[in-house]
Structure 1
Amino acid sequence: MNLHEYQGKEILSSFGVRVQRGIVADNHKSAVDAAKQLSAETGTGWWVIKAQIHAGGRGKGGGVKLAKNLGEVESISKNIIGMMLKTPQTPPQGKKVHQVLIAEDVYYPGDSEPEEFYMSVLLNRGAGKNMIMYSTEGGMDIETVAEETPHLIFLEEVDPATGLLPFQARKIAFNLGLSGKAFKEMTKFATSLYEAYVKSDATLFEINPVLKTSDDKILAVDAKVTLDNNALFRHKDYVDLRDLREESPIEVEANAAGLNYVDLDGNVGCMVNGAGLAMSTMDLIKQSGGEPANFLDVGGTADAERVETGFRIILKDPAVKAILVNIFGGIVRCDRVAQGIVDAYKNMGDEIKVPIIVRLQGTNAVEAKELIDKSGLNVISVVEFKEAADKVQEVLG
C-alpha cells in the first residue's frame, strides 16, 4: 500500500525521525490557514507547496513550488489542486491532485551550505537481508546516479536478527562525508529510519532528499513509503491511510470482489487460478506475440459468479482483444469451472465481443472440454499449452 508524502512523514516522525514539518490542505483557503499556522509554529517565512499524489518526479511536472508570501501560497495552491499532474511515474493522462502539503522552508542561510543525500531501506531478496541504500547525490533520480556514477551509491546490509548496529550507522555517516554534530545526527537518523521500516512492516522507505541543514540538522524533506498489505492486520491505524483515488479503479473493484488482480498494458486478458500458473500463462502470451493485459488469479473457487465477475473486470479494459482462461482443476473440478464459464457467458450476452480461449486441466478435464465444445458459444477449448499459444496467436492475427 503506497502512502502520500505527508502520511509517510507522520510515520517517520512517530519513530523519532526528524522531518520537514508541514500541514496538508485540500483547497487554497485551507492552504493559507496552514501556512499561517506553520509560520506561527516554526517561524518559517517561505513555504513549499507540494502536490500529494502517489508518484515521484512531482517537481518536474510542476507539482512542487516555493511560495514567498501568503498571496503566492493561495495562488500556487489554487493552481495545483485539481490539476492533472504528469510525471515520468504517472499514466500518460497524469494524476489528479486532490490535496497539497504546505511545508516549512528548511533551506535557510547559516554557517554552512545545506547538503542533500539519498537514503532508502528495502529488502535485498538475494542476500535475505534488509538493505540501506544511500548516496551523496540526493535530490536526483537515483537511477541516473546508478547509471552515470555508480561509485557514489553505497549499500549497507542489515541482518534482521540484530538490526542496524551502531558501527553500521557510523559507517553510513562517514561515507556521506559528515563530521561533528552532523555525523551524530546522521547516525541517529539512519537508526530511527531503519526502526521505522521494520516496526511499520514497510517494503520501502525512500527519502530523497535527506537534508543536512545549514546548522547541521539531518531531516527528511521527502518520504516515499510502501507498506506490506499482508501485515496491515498488525497496524489497524494504517488501514485508513489508503487513498483509493490514487489506485486503479479496476484493481479496487477486483480487490472488493476478492480477486487478485493487477492491471497491465497488454491486449490479452488472463484468468487463472494460482500465482505460478498465472505467471506461466503471461509468459505464454508474450511468446505468442501478445502482451498480458492483466494478472488475475481467481483462486480455488472458480464458480459462475466468480468467473462472470472476472470477465466483467477484464473487459473494462478496451485494449483487450482476447481472453485466455487457464485453470488447473485440483481443488475445484474442471467441469464445474466449464459450467461457470458457459453460464457467465450466457449471462453477459453481447457484452463479450472478444474470443475466449479456455484451457482446463485436472479433475474432470475431459468432461469440461466436452461441455465447452457443445455450448455453441464463441469459446475455444484447448488442451495443451502449445495449443493455447497457437490459438492466442491466431485470434490476434
Structure 2
Amino acid sequence: MNLHEYQAKQILRSGNITTPRGIAAASADAAVEAAGELGGDAWVVKAQIHAGGRGKVGGVKVVKRLDDVRAMAESLLGKPLLTNQNAPDGQPVNLVLVEETLPIARELYLSLLVDRETERVAIVASAAGGMDIEDVAHATPEKVLTETCDPLLGVQDFQCRALAFALELKGEAYKDFCHLLPQLYRVFIANDLSLLEINPLVVTADNRVLPLDCKMSVDDNALYRRKALSELRDDSQIDAKEAAANAVNVNYVALSGNIGCMVNGAGLAMATMDLIQLEGGTPANFLDVGGGATPETVAQGFKIILLDPNVRAVLINIFGGIVRCDVIAAGIIQAVKEVGVKVPVVVRLEGTNAELGRKLLAESGLAIIAAASLTDAAKQAVVAAQ
C-alpha cells in the first residue's frame, strides 16, 4: 500500500525526523490559506499522487506569489496527472501539499527497501539525487551505494559513517546524516514498510541534511496489525477493480488482456496466465481468491472481473486442496446466476471431489465449459475470447 508524500512526512515527524513545514490542501482557497500560515516569500506546491516523476510533468513547482499558489492549485486539483510511472491514464490529484522553500546546496538520494535476495533491509544512497536518479542508476551504477542491515543489529554506526564519507558529507551535514539514518531504519521497521525513499535528501546552504521529499510503501501483509496505516489508503489512486478487491480481501491486479482469470493460489495463477499467453491469448487480470476460497469469494471474484469491459471470457482454475471442488462448483453456479455472467466461462477443477464438482457444473444447465486439463482450459478460453 502506497502513501502520499504528506502522509509519509507525518510518519517521519512522528519518528522525530525534521521535515520541511507543509500543509495539505484540497482546494485552491485552502492552498492560499496554507501558504499564508506558513509565511515566507516563496512556496512549493506539490501534487499528491501515488507516482514519482511529478516534477518532470509540472506537478511540483516553486511559486513566489499567493496568486500563483492559487493558480497552481487550480491547475492541478480535480485533474489527472500523467507521469512516466502511471501511464497511460495518470492518477487524480485530490490534494496538493504546500511547503516552505529551503536554500538547497546539494541533492542526494537515499532509500531503504526489502532486498529479497539477501532477506535483509538494504540502504541505497547516491550523491546524484534528484529527478534523474533512474538514469544515474542505469548509466553510472557505480554512483549508487548499498549497505545491507543485519536483522538483529539494524543499521550500524560504521555503515552510517561509510555512506556519509562516500556522499562527501562534512561537519554538521555528516552528523545529521549519521543521526538520521538509524531514525529512518526505526521508522521503516516500526511501520512494516517495504520502501522508504527520500529523493531528494538535501544538504542546505547552512550544511544541514533534511528529507525534502518522501515516498513510502507499507507491506500489505502487515496491514492487519497496522490499522492506523490501513486507514490512510487512498483507493482513488488505484484501479477501481483493485480497490473492489481490497474491500473483499482478494488479490487482484489489472492487466490489459481480454481473458479474466480466477485462480486459488498465486503460483497457480501465474502458471495459468503463462499458459494463456502460450496459447496466443492475453490475461485481463491476476486474481487469487486464496486457498480457502468460498462460494462468496467466487461470486465477488466474478463481480470484480466483470467490472473490466475488455473481458471476453473467464477462465476459472481451481485446485481443490484446502477447499473441496464441489464447494467451488456450487459457488461458481451461484455466482453465474447471481451476477448474470454473459461471457463464456471455462472451468478447470482438479483435486478433492473434482469429479463431483464437474458433475455439478454439467448438470447446472448453465453455459459453462468444462476443461479436462489446464492446457485444455487455456486453449478453450482463448478460443472463447475470440
- Indicate whether the TM-score tops 0.5: yes
**Counterpart of 2:367?**
378
CA displacement at 1:291 relative to structure 2: 2.4
Within 5 Å, give how 1:17-56 maps onto structure 2: 17-39=17-39, 44-56=40-52
CA contact (8 A) 1:302 1:340 kept: no
1:132-186 deviation per Cα after TM superposition (whole angstroms, max 9, x unaligned): 0111111134321121111111111111110111110011111111122211122
**Counterpart of 1:188?**
179
CA displacement at 1:269 relative to structure 2: 1.0
CA displacement at 1:368 relative to structure 2: 2.0
CA displacement at 1:209 relative to structure 2: 0.5
Q: Secondary structure at the residue paired with 1:167?
A: helix
Match for residue 241 of structure 2 among 247, 250, 258: 250
CA contact (8 A) 1:18 1:218 kept: no
CA displacement at 1:93 relative to structure 2: 2.6
Which of structure 1's runs of 4+ aligned residues deviate more than 6 A?
A: none
CA displacement at 1:348 relative to structure 2: 3.3
1:113-136 deviation per Cα after TM superposition (whole angstroms, max 9, x unaligned): x11011110011111211001111
CA contact (8 A) 1:87 1:94 kept: yes
**Counterpart of 2:80?**
84
Within 5 Å, give how 1:58-97 maps onto structure 2: 58-97=54-93
**Counterpart of 1:308?**
299
Q: Secondary structure at the residue paired with 2:57?
A: coil
In structure 1, how many angstroms separate the alpha carbons of the residues matched to 2:26 and 2:173?
36
- Which segment drifts farther, 29-38 or 167-176? 29-38
- Which segment drifts farther, 187-196 or 228-237? 228-237
In structure 2, how many angstroms separate the alpha carbons of the residues matched to 1:74 and 1:396?
50
In structure 2, how many angstroms separate the alpha carbons of the residues matched to 1:303 and 1:14?
41
Seen in structure 2, the aligned counterparts of structure 1 residues 175 and 99 have a Cα distance that, compared at 3 Å, is same
**Counterpart of 1:357?**
346
- Which segment drifts farther, 235-244 or 354-363? 235-244
CA contact (8 A) 1:268 1:324 kept: yes
Within 5 Å, give how 1:113-192 maps onto structure 2: 114-192=105-183
CA displacement at 1:47 relative to structure 2: 0.2
Match for residue 229 of structure 1 among 215, 220, 223: 220
CA contact (8 A) 2:55 2:131 kept: no
1:210-244 deviation per Cα after TM superposition (whole angstroms, max 9, x unaligned): 00011111011110001123323443332332222
**Counterpart of 1:7?**
7
Seen in structure 2, the aligned counterparts of structure 1 residues 231 and 364 have a Cα distance that, compared at 3 Å, is closer
- Which segment drifts farther, 282-291 or 160-169? 282-291
Between the two proteins, the alignment pairs up a number of residues equal to 386
**Counterpart of 1:341?**
332
CA displacement at 1:89 relative to structure 2: 1.6
Amino acid at match of 1:4: H
**Counterpart of 1:272?**
263
CA displacement at 1:301 relative to structure 2: 4.9
In structure 1, how many angstroms separate the alpha carbons of the residues matched to 2:211 and 2:164?
15
Match for residue 284 of structure 1 among 244, 269, 275: 275
**Counterpart of 1:111?**
none
Seen in structure 2, the aligned counterparts of structure 1 residues 302 and 17 have a Cα distance that, compared at 3 Å, is closer
Match for residue 216 of structure 1 among 179, 197, 207: 207
CA contact (8 A) 1:361 1:383 kept: no
Cα RMSD, aligned residues only: 1.8
In structure 2, how many angstroms separate the alpha carbons of the residues matched to 1:74 and 1:106?
21
In structure 2, how many angstroms separate the alpha carbons of the residues matched to 1:263 and 1:372?
28
Amino acid at match of 1:370: K
**Counterpart of 1:325?**
316
- Which segment drifts farther, 162-171 or 62-71? 62-71
CA displacement at 1:91 relative to structure 2: 4.0
- Which segment drifts farther, 332-341 or 232-241? 232-241
- Which segment drifts farther, 286-295 or 370-379? 370-379
In structure 2, how many angstroms separate the alpha carbons of the residues matched to 1:339 and 1:237?
38
Identity over aligned residues, as a percent?
48
CA displacement at 1:303 relative to structure 2: 4.2
Amino acid at match of 1:23: I
Q: Secondary structure at the residue paired with 2:55?
A: coil
- Which segment drifts farther, 146-155 or 184-193? 184-193
CA displacement at 1:317 relative to structure 2: 0.5
In the alignment, structure 1 segments of 5+ residues that lack a partner are: 109-113
Q: Secondary structure at the residue paired with 1:60?
A: helix
CA displacement at 1:395 relative to structure 2: 2.6
Match for residue 100 of structure 1 among 88, 96, 99: 96
In structure 2, how many angstroms separate the alpha carbons of the residues matched to 1:309 and 1:180?
59
In structure 2, how many angstroms separate the alpha carbons of the residues matched to 1:382 and 1:197?
47
In structure 1, how many angstroms separate the alpha carbons of the residues matched to 2:66 and 2:142?
43
Q: Secondary structure at the residue paired with 1:389?
A: helix
Amino acid at match of 2:74: K
